[in-house]
Structure formats: C-alpha cells, structure tokens
Structure 1
Amino acid sequence: MKKILILAANPSNASKLRLDQEVREIEAGLQRCKYREQFQIISKWAVRPDTLRQALLDHEPQIVHFCGHGSGVEGLALENQSGQMQLVSTSSLAGLFALFKGKIDCVVLNACYGEIQAEAIYEHVGCVIGMKQTIGDNAAIEFAKGFYDGLGAGRTLDDAFHFGCNAIDLEAIPESSTPIIKSKSSHHLNNQNLNYPNVSQSLTGEPDTNQKLNKIEINNQESASISRDILLESPPIDLDIQNPINTLVAAKFPLENPEGQVPLNSPFYVERPPNESDCYETILQSAALIRIKAPRQLGKTSLMSRVLHHAKSRGYQTVSLNFQSADAEFLGSLDGFLQWFCASIADSLNLADRLDEYWRGILGSKNKCTRYFERYLFAEINSPIALGLDEVDQVFKHPEIASDFFGLLRAWHERAKNEVEWQKLALIIVHSKEVYIPLNINQSPFNVGVPIELPDLNREQVQDLIQRHGLNFTDSQVEQLINLVDGHPYLLRMALYQIARGRITLERLIEIAPTEEGPYSDHLRRHLLNLQEDEELLAAFKRVVGTYKPVDVGTTAAFKLRSMGLVKLRGNEVMPLCNLYRQYFGDRLN
C-alpha cells in the first residue's frame, strides 16, 4: 500500500485558500478509483516546520502533497506556533528531503511559485511537481483531482501529471501550463506490491468481471474505512497527430487580443527569470525600492502588476498609480501635483483624502506630503503598503516638478533604512526613458534600489509562446518569425494572435508586415511620428537603418532610440531591433 501524506498550511495572516476542498476532492477521487486499495491518505493540517519533519518520520510516505502558499525564492509558507506565516527556505526543504532519499517517490508542491523548491528537491526525489507562477484556487483543486484520478487508475506519475493539467483545461481555466514536472523517467510508483494490470490487457476493452470491491483507508486526524463500487476506467491514450506545416492546431487557451498589460491570470504572460523572483523577494524587504525600466510594450506594467499581486498575497495593501491619469491642471505646480498624488493614493486605499486637514500651514509642499503619509496614511493602514508608480516618464516632461518629486521619493527611501514607520512603504518605479532631467546624485531614486531591465524573449520563450497559441511551427518558421520581430513580446503576440485566429499565414505576414496593410501599421506609424518630432534623433535613426552594420550615433541618441525600443545596443553602437523596423523605416525615411 502506498501512503499519500497531505500537508496543509493556511497561515492566519495570508490570503485564505480552500485547502479543505482540495483534500476532500483528493479523498473522493481515490475512493472511487479502480485501485483504491493500493492507497492510504494521511492528512496533516496547520503544518509547522517541526510537524512536517515528524510526519515524514512517523508515516514514511511514498507521495508527499503540499497544499498552501508558496513564495518563490523565499520558500514555502508553513505556520508558526501562533498560526501565522513562517517561511521555510528552499535549501532547508531540500536538505530535509535528502534525508529521505530513496524512500519518497513523488513530491507535489501545489502552491504558487513552487518551481524553485521543485528544482532543489528533485536532486533527492525521482519525481517532483511544482507551479512555475501563481495558481488560482480552482486550478490547484482541479489539478489535484486530475492527478490523483490518474494515479488511482494505475497510470504513471508522468501520465497522472498530464491528467492534472488536462483537468484544468477541461474546466476552461487558463492555467494548465502553470504546473511543471521534474521526472527522471515515466514510471509507476516504485513498489512491486502494486498490482497494476499489464498494459496490453487494459487495451482489450473487456471488463474484468472478477473485479472485487476494495477499500481505501482515509486517515484524516483519525482513520476510517470507506467502500465504494465506482471504478475509473482510463485506458492509455495514444496521440499520434500529424499537423501540416503552418496550420492551426487546437489552441491550449482562449486567445487574447495583445493590447495593454497582460492580465494576471493570462496564460500568455512569459516570465523572464530571474526578474520575477528578484522582484518578489525584494518587494517584501524593508526599504524596498524596485526600478523597472524597458522600452514601451515590453511588459513593464505587466510585471509591476504581478509584483503588487505578490505583495498583496503577503498581507500588503497595494496601490497602482499611473501618471498618465494625472490631469494637466495638476502638472502646473509642485503643490498641485503632490495634492493629486496624495489624494489618489488615499482613494486607492479607500480613505477620504482629508487634504484640508493635512495641507495647512507655511511648510513647503514636500513637507506637507511627507506629513500626510506619516500622520494619516500610515496611521490608518496597519499593514505595509506597496506603491507602484507607472509611466513616471510623464513627470520627466515637467522639470519644475520632477526634481523635487523624485528627490522626495529618494528621501523617503533613505528614511526607511532607519525609521520603522517608513519601512511600511515599498516602492516600484516604472519608466521607459533614460533619465535626462538634472538630478543631484544624492537626491535621485534612479541610482538606488534594485534595477530591473526587461530583455526581449529568447528563442526557447518564443517557442513556448507559439505553443501556447496552439500553433505548430517548424524550426525554420520559428527562425523566420524571430528574424522579423526579434524577441519583442508585443510584436510576437500580435503575429501569433493573427495567425492563430486564422486571419493570416506566417508567409503572408512576413510579406506585408512592414507596410501600411500589415497588422503593425499603427505601432510603426506611432514610432514614425515620435521620430519626426526630433530632427536630430530622426537623422540618427536614418543612419542606423541605412546600413547592415552597427552604427555609433552618440550616447544621447543611442539611449533615446533604445528607450523608444527601436534599436538594440552592440557595445557603443546600435542597430535596428529587428528586420521589421529596418524594412519599414528604411522605406519611410528614404
């Protein structure tokens, strides 16, 4: 008999998960499975580090299933003596499972961001399943149901993993690519006592009339024996599908029009390690300041949203403030701007603005703004606050505001290093352009904190994105697509969306992409208009697209063009980001 040890932890200071339902679904699935007599379930709740160790020693399970919260590089979230969160590091978990090497067949980490722990534990366990990003309650439950349905039907661990992913798909939940498996081979559980039938016998399609009703023993605090006569018949599936070149196959997820930020639950968001894990780790530290810089449409806002979501799952209050939403009337003076800034944050926190109370006296605007945070926002909000400032480029256009405002952010960051009150504030600053406004090096927030620069997608990530759109590309076609748009996330998604919708073929896309007829016409025209507003920059870019060799256009022009996302750097020289830009602008500028 195989023992499945379920470890559940749902700390009181973390968002509540439906772990009881997950455990019930696992139990119910195994109660009705064909080989239910082969499994024993043992459930442990409110797991602490010491009870984790003791449970492994006492029960000697072959499968360990953790359900609860994960925190990426910080580890798994267990509970302490008072029921609050206690993070257990990845190295500690790996070290614990090393002590059970050869005794545990499989570890399932059904928690957000469990991939990092899965990698470490995999050194000591033959099969480990984790989640590469956040996973919703419904998806986690469906995965568990499908996984144990597969195991209970006598399938291999690898097969059971795919049943779990498919269970998410069948419920139309766009998270079936979130689970990942680390497996040394496609194998059954390592126990000669399991009486799984020969595969050839299961293909006959004839029912086993001698099948006996069996029992699965469920231990949930105390054991109880339950008999059911429902059998899961699940013959092996042989997929042998031939897809013609450049044709649409069944899409794994509902398609999304690639505009604006990528939604939190979108299967089309591609992580670019280690950026996400670095941000998730940093945002929870005291005096946190993260600076995300990248050209337009490379995923800055999408990353910021995920960092704020991560902070929220750890008990933070979160505010996302886009400076494009500031009316022109508030950008005329520092005082008006800071009042808008404070009122906007208070509104996001569901507080009255109370500016009339805190904006009195002869103190300057920066002092009033600081007092507003100290005496009002921090006093009203007991938890830490993660503040995301998006599109701060808008402030660069107003030097009379910019130097004082950014100096204020830097001052708050410095105070947070020593003053507990200011450690409640975590900052994320998002911008596209290089900072050309004159800022004192000691008063700028752009040379402190953790800098994050978003790279283009690499070939492996491009191939993954193609598959998520349900497309079957040859290596040659992948190369053609990358040659056209490089690894630019927006340009890639636009191409794949159009092809997956059946609106165009890759060959036709390559033909019309650099023209006004193509799907990129609005994107390209916007860049052209921006270039035409700066004659020097226009002349510099004209030189870049006029040759196939990298060009030295000077530091200022190079960084401005890179900030616009039109070029990539090659040492001190630049070249067009992709052939799409070379062809379109080569034609328009000449």
Structure 2
Amino acid sequence: MLFLWHGNIQNKNVQNRPKSSMLDSEDQIQLNTAQLQQQRRVASLRRLQSEIDLLEKAYALQSQKVASIRKEWQLETDPSRKFQYSHQLQEAEQTLTELGDKLKALEQEVQAIADVILAVEQGIYVTRPPHEDKCYQAITQPGALIRIKAPQKMGKTLLLEKILNYARQQGYRTAKLDLKLAEVEILKDLKTFLQWICVDVADSLELEPQLAKHWQEVFGVNKNCTRYFQKYLLSSSDKPLVLAIDNFERLFNYPEIFPQFCLLLRGWYEAAKSSDHIGNIWKKLRLVIVHSTESYPSLDINHSPFNVGSTIELLEFNLQQVIELANQNNLGKQREQDLSAFMGLIGGHPYLMQQAINHLKNQQVTPEELLRLAPTEQGIFRDHLRQQFQHLQRNPQLELGYKKVVMTNTPVMLDTEVTFKLHSLGLVKLVSNDCVPSCDLYRQYFSNRLG
C-alpha cells in the first residue's frame, strides 16, 4: 500500500474571490479536474487489467504447448525428429518467456496505478520541507520548469499530485501525461508521439483535439507541436497551463524521440523568456518533469531541459517524518520504538515504511517476528523484494554489479550505467561515485539470493 501526503494548502487568492452562485466553464473544469484524473486512473487500471487477462490466457496456452512439445521431445527416439522437436521447444520457450516478461511489466504498471489511486483516496501526506514550498513558489513563476527526481517508490508521483492540486487552487489549468501508459507503438515514431501528447492534453482540458486544423504537414513535427500549443492550447485561455510529465525516464530507451522531445521542451522554456507577444503566450506554460534516474542519454547542453529550472531530489524520510506518517496512520505512541527498529532495517524508505506500519497496526505478528522474517520469502516485503530480484535477473550486468555491492562492507565502484540503473531502482545509495546497499534489508536478502 502506498500513501499520499496530506497538507492544508491555503490559497488567499481563491479565498478572497467574491462568491458566485454561477461558475464559469473553466472554473467548473478545474473543480472537476482532480476527480477526472482519478477516473482516468481507474479507466487505465481496467484497460491494463483486461490486457493482463488476455495475456494470462495466452501464457496458459503457451505453457501447455511447451509441455506438449517437451513431452514429444522426451519420447522421440529418431534423431532427426528429436532435433525438430528441440528447435520447436526452443522457440516455444522463448515465446513463453516473452509473454511472461510482458505480463510482469503490466502487473507492475497496475500495481503502481493502484497505489496512487489508493493513496489519493486515503489522503495521507507527510511534508518534506522545503520541497513543497519550493515547488509551490516555482509553479507560480511565468515559464517555470520543475524537475523532480528520485528512485522508484520514493513518492515522486504523489508530490506531483500535490503540485497539481496547488496549481488548481491558484486557478491554473492542469494536464498530466504518464509516459508509462503510452503504448509501445506510440513511442516508436516522433510524429505519433507528439500528436498523442497534443490530443491527450486537449482531452485533459476538455477541449476538442482540432489536430487537423493546427497540424500542417509543411512544417516539421516539433514545429507543428509548438504551433498547436501556442495557437490553440495556450491561447484558448488567459490562465496558466501546468503540463506535468511523469515517468519521463521511459523515453531514455527511445533515441528516435528522446533528443527531439528534449529539444522541444527546452525551446518552450526559452520561448517564455522573450518579452514579445509570443513570449507572453509561452509564459503561461509551466512544465513539471518527473523521472527516476539521472542516467539519461547525452544531450547538447543547450538542448536539454535537465540543466535549467528548479530541481527537487526526494530523499528518504527522517525519524520525525516516519513518526508523522505513523501518527496519520493512527499507529499509536507505543509503536514509536518499533519504528526505530524498522528504520535500522529499511531506513526511511517511504513505501517500505508504509508497509511496515500497516502490519504493525494489524498486531497479528509481533514486531520482533516481523523483523526476523523481513529479509526472507516469508517476510512482509517479499513481493517487493521479488520484484527487485526480477529486475536484476533480466539484466546480467546489474545482477553481477549488485552482487559485488551486497557481498562487501565497503563502497564499490561500478560501471556508470550500471550505477545509475541500480540507483534508479532504489537498490543503492551513492557515496561519491561508489555504491552501497540502500538499506540492510537489501543487503541481507540479496547477499543470500546472489551469493
């Protein structure tokens, strides 16, 4: 279970506006945006679950096929026929592996979306000063760009929700793109990808797409996307537009898209610096980019959105924040000592700490027993640990590198790409350029599994 930090945001501008029995259409849209976004998450969840159901059926059929071919291969005595069965078995097992990988990826997406849905509904929020105030101040600046970075499951998406909620309270329009939800076919072609963005943002603002009207083939795709935002999305209202892009790191593996899209975003940011009519239009755009690793492909320094604007790096909770999380979960003062013991195992990792709190609340198992079993397949973190182990198994370089990290008590220097991928997964902390396990839970579990 994930959590959503809860804060009481006061908006004097909103409070001081004269009350009216009638709301204009844009105000009504803003009042409904948060609810609409939650509905879109639920719809995405259902769509992904349908895909999982189909994949599970395909996986079951393929498993039967593999078993059947393997049986024929074992019974066959003719060398020629046995060779044919061997080849068929190899192909069938490869297909089964691919289906399994797709199934696991979809299940992870479903879990991530389900966690956010639950977090929004629960309304729990632990502040991380000064990050919130810094983001609230930045988002009100014309042409702002905010970049939020942290390993997976550290609360980036939930902080993003707070920023968007604050922006709505300022009367701003908001649109959020979750790149995890973009289908692979969309990410294979720059034109398709940019048109998907244009339509998705228009849909978030409850505007007609009007893509045919504003997209002229005589221009390049980046120019067309810029014209669409400038002449339509930004010009359709005097109110600022906050465009949030979550899971930006997904683009790192698409060289056809990543550098051109970064060039586009940097161009929009620079356009807002102009004092002419065009610059005033782009001042209404506020960008928020969220990603889980610094290991992005190399970019021209003048074409990158990663070296401008405000940067927010989320770290683990400290003890005071963990206690606040426990209080909001109604854990009780008598459990604070138990939390300290868990911090010795998992640090202040927000996701893992929430799991620990949930089990301490149930009181079905003693804290001592929870701690003893935690780094095992019987422990409360087993699903998370297995998921991390699967990430390593899919990449032999990561597995070998992490084995070096957990099998020694001193910081280890690894290949730069391996280091950043392990950091993105939250498996290591960086000490200068070297790696150490993020927490003792990981050291205990993976030294056993990889040793």
The normalised TM-score by structure 2 is 0.72
Work out the CA distance in 2 between the residues paired with 1:279 and 1:536: 37
Superposition deviation, residue 399 in structure 1:
0.9
C-alpha deviation, 1:258, in angstroms? 9.2
Contact 1:318 1:386 in 2 (8 A): yes
What does residue 296 of structure 2 align with?
436
Structure 1 residue 528: Cα displacement: 1.1
Q: Which has the higher contact order (CA 8 A, sep 6+)?
A: 2
Q: Of residues 388, 396, 404 in structure 2, which corresponds to 1:543? A: 404
Higher fraction of strand: 1
* CA–CA distance in structure 1, aligned partners of residues 15 and 185 of structure 2: 50
Show structure 1 runs of 5+ residues with no match. Answer: 1-67, 85-256
Structure 1 distance, partners of 2:227, 2:183, is 24
1:222-275 Cα shifts (integer Å, max 9, x gaps): xxxxxxxxxxxxxxxxxxxxxxxxxxxxxxxxxxx9933674574532111000
| Cα 1:78–1:587 shift into 2, 3 Å | closer
Q: In structure 1, how many angstroms separate the alpha carbons of the residues matched to 2:238 and 2:433?
A: 49
1:461 aligns with 2:321: yes
Pairing 1:290–2:151 present: no
Among residues 279, 295, 310, which one is paired with 2:135 in the alignment? Answer: 279
Aligned twin of 1:70? 10
1:576 aligns with 2:437: yes
Maintained 8 Å contact 1:291/1:450: yes
Q: Which amino acid aligns with 1:498?
A: H
The 1-side partners of 2:355 and 2:152 are apart by 15
1:494 pairs with 2:350 = no
Tell me the distance in 2 between the aligned counterparts of 1:261 and 1:453: 23
Which residue identity does 1:520 align to in structure 2?
Answer: F
Provide closer, same or farther for how the CA distance between residues 352 and 325 of structure 1 changes in structure 2, counting only shifts above 3 A: same
Offset from partner CA, 1:36-56 (integer Å, 9 cap, x none): xxxxxxxxxxxxxxxxxxxxx
User: What is the identity, as a one-letter code, of the residue corresponding to 1:309?
Assistant: N
Are 2:212 and 1:350 equivalent residues in the alignment? no
- CA-CA distance at 1:427 after TM superposition: 0.5
* CA deviations over 1:505-533 (Å, ceiling 9, x no partner): 32121121112222222211111111122
Look up the match of 1:235: none
**Overall identity of the aligned pairs, in %:** 41
- Structure 1: how far apart are the matches of 2:437 and 2:332? 28
Q: Deviations over 1:524-551 (max 9, x none)?
A: 1111111122222221111111122222
User: In structure 1, what is the equivalent of residue 340 of structure 2?
Assistant: 479
What pairs up with 1:158-307 in 2 under 5 angstroms?
259-260=115-116, 263-264=119-120, 266-307=122-163
Change (3 A) 1:475 1:385: closer
Correspondence for 1:517 among 359, 372, 378: 378
Counterparts of residues 31-430 of structure 1 (less than 5 Å) = 70-71=10-11, 76-77=12-13, 259-260=115-116, 263-264=119-120, 266-418=122-274, 419-430=279-290
- Which of these two proteins has the greater Rg computed from alpha carbons? 1
Deviation of 1:381 after TM superposition, in Å, equals 2.6
Contact 1:298/1:490 (CA < 8 Å) preserved in 2? yes
SS in 2 for 1:292: strand
Contact 2:295-2:420 at 8 Å conserved across structures: no
Q: Which structure carries more helix by proportion? A: 2
Aligned residue for 1:295, secondary structure, equals: coil
Work out whether residues 202 and 208 of structure 2, in 8 Å CA contact, stay in contact via their aligned partners in 1.
yes
* Partner SS, residue 380 of structure 1: coil
Check whether the contact 1:297–1:490 (CA below 8 A) recurs between aligned residues. yes
Alignment RMSD: 2.3
Distance change (3 Å), C-alpha of 1:454 and 1:409: same
| Number of the residue aligned with 2:308 | 448
The Cα shift of 1:504 comes to 2.9
Residue aligned with 1:321, SS:
strand
Structure 2 residue aligned with 1:561, among 422, 435, 442?
A: 422
Write the distance in 2 (CA, Å) between the matches of 1:415 and 1:451.
20
Contact in 2 for aligned 1:466/1:496 (Cα 8 Å): yes
Measure, in 1, the Cα distance between the counterparts of 2:197 and 2:114.
30
- Unaligned 5+ runs, structure 2: 1-7, 20-112
Give deviations 1:315-359, integer Å, cap 9, x for gaps. Answer: 101111101121222112100110101000000000111112222
TM-score, normalising length: structure 1: 0.56
Seen in structure 2, the aligned counterparts of structure 1 residues 69 and 517 have a Cα distance that, compared at 3 Å, is closer
Distance (whole Å) between structure 2 residues aligned to residue 514 and residue 538 of structure 1: 18
Distance 1:522 1:69, change over 3 A: closer
CA distance in structure 1 between the aligned counterparts of 2:193 and 2:294, rounded to whole angstroms: 22
State the distance in 1 between where 2:175 and 2:336 align.
43
Contact 2:295 2:421 in 1 (8 A): no
